[in-house]
Structure formats: structure tokens, C-alpha cells
Structure 1
Amino acid sequence: MTDLAISTQPDSDRTVRLIATGEIDMASAEQVTAAAGKALTTHTPAHLIIDLTAVTFLDSTGIAALLAARHLAEEQSCTLRVTGIHGIVERVLDVTGLLGVLDGPPPHC
């Protein structure tokens, strides 16, 4: 079993940051989607940032969770950006063609 911790930090009244620590895989991916959904409904931000600086592993279910979080954000007219991408996480997102999609500048609202 892998461990994943996610903390929520409102950066301002318009931005909320989710900070993930650990591995995002089949056992923990749902936590990412749930945390994003909770942040969106609790804080109703204009911008949601998912910080992966402390994430050491990401598999296909983790990718699906990030894309689901992006979809949830878009449904609420909120932009989502993934930051802190490095190491194996960067490699996985690069190989799948999602690196520029998730870490690029947020689209204009």
C-alpha cells in the first residue's frame, strides 16, 4: 500500500493550492480527485494549483485523477495548473504528451 497525503492551502481568495506528498497510483489516485472536488466546492476558487513537488511516483490512474480534477475545475469555470513536476512524474507526463497540457499556463477565463 502506498501513502499519499494532500493538504489544502488557500493562496488567496482566488487561488487554492493542493500539495500532494507521496505516490499517486491505483491505491491513492481517488484522493486527488476527491481533494480537488472538495477544494472546488469549499473554496470556489478561480484557480486551482496541484503541487506535485513532493510526489515520487505517478501511474496511469494518477494521470486519470489529474485529468478528472482538471475536468471538475473546468466545470466550475476554474483553471487548473499542475506545478512541481520533476523526476519520474515529469517523464510519465512527457511520454504521454500531457506535460504541456497540465503544467502550461492556465487558459484565460
Structure 2
Amino acid sequence: MTETAEILRVNVHTVGLWSVLGLSGELDVAGIATLNRRVDEACGARTPPRLVIDMTSVTFMDSCGLGGLVRSWKRVGGLQGRFVLVGLQPRVARVLDITGMRRAFEIYDSLDDFTGS
């Protein structure tokens, strides 16, 4: 049996005042608990939270993964924080386009593009 940590890995670091969650692997039902836990930790570390989700290494995202992003976005917004996505791969971006959620998120091409703005 594969454990969730092997399917979705989350590397947490900071850039200035921002918590950066670098996701790698598949963002689907198996990885939601890991994402939720890391987002909750980041939200508890700083008020208001400033959270970047770096999706450069996400190879797959389904509707459950999208639901996890929406939950995270709402959690951060509910604390008057700011939530940013960076590094969307074409397959992941397509899910956001199909569902119309691309308009909801603040998105940058890369972490460098975001931190440079």
C-alpha cells in the first residue's frame, strides 16, 4: 500500500514574509489530507497568512485536488490572508480553465516571477 506522503510531497520554506508550500507528485484525493495539514500549519504560523503554493512539480490534479486548493484559498482568505499559485503545469492549468477557477486564483508563472513583483 502506498502512503499519502509518497503520492504528494510538500516542501515548506519561507521567502520573506511568505510561507511557500512546494508540492510535488499528484494532487488528488490521496494527497488532500497532506495539503490540508500543511496549509493549516502555515495559517497557524503567521497572521494574516501569506501562502504561496508552488505547483511546478505537480504532475496531476483532479477535481479532488482542485477542491483542496479551493479549501486552502478559502481558509487563507477567511483569515484575511493572501493566497497565490505559481508554476502551473499545462495539465493542471487545464483543470483550472475547464472549471473556470483560473479567474479565482492569483497566479504567477514561477516563484521568481512572483517574488519579483
TM bracket, shorter-chain basis: 0.7 to 0.9
Counting only pairs closer than 5 Å after superposition, residues 52-91 of structure 1 correspond to structure 2 as: 52-91=55-94
Partner secondary structure for residue 45 of structure 2:
helix
Of 10, 23, 34, 2:37 maps to 34
Assess if the C-alpha contact under 8 Å between 2:56 and 2:87 holds in 1. yes
What is the distance in 1 between the residues matched to 2:50 and 2:31? 23
What is the distance in 2 between the residues matched to 1:56 and 1:85? 10
Assess if the C-alpha contact under 8 Å between 1:32 and 1:65 holds in 2. yes
Return 5+ residue gaps in structure 1 as ranges.
none
Please name the residue that 2:22 is paired with.
19
Please name the residue that 2:114 is paired with.
none
* TM-score for both structures, normalised by structure 1: 0.86
Offset of 1:45 from its aligned partner? 5.1
Offset of 1:3 from its aligned partner? 0.9
Please name the residue that 1:8 is paired with.
12
* TM-score for both structures, normalised by structure 2: 0.80
What is the distance in 2 between the residues matched to 1:6 and 1:41? 17
Offset of 1:46 from its aligned partner? 4.2
Counting only pairs closer than 5 Å after superposition, residues 39-54 of structure 1 correspond to structure 2 as: 39-44=42-47, 46-54=49-57
What is the distance in 2 between the residues matched to 1:8 and 1:101? 24
What is the distance in 1 between the residues matched to 2:25 and 2:72? 18
What is the distance in 1 between the residues matched to 2:83 and 2:93? 17
Moved over 6 A (4+): none
The alignment-based identity, stated in percent, is 27
C-alpha distance after superposition, 1:75-99 (max 9, x if no partner): 2111101111122101111111011
Q: Which moved more, 1:70-79 or 1:95-104?
A: 95-104
What is the distance in 1 between the residues matched to 2:13 and 2:36? 16
Offset of 1:29 from its aligned partner? 1.6
Task: Compute the RMSD of aligned alpha carbons.
Answer: 1.7
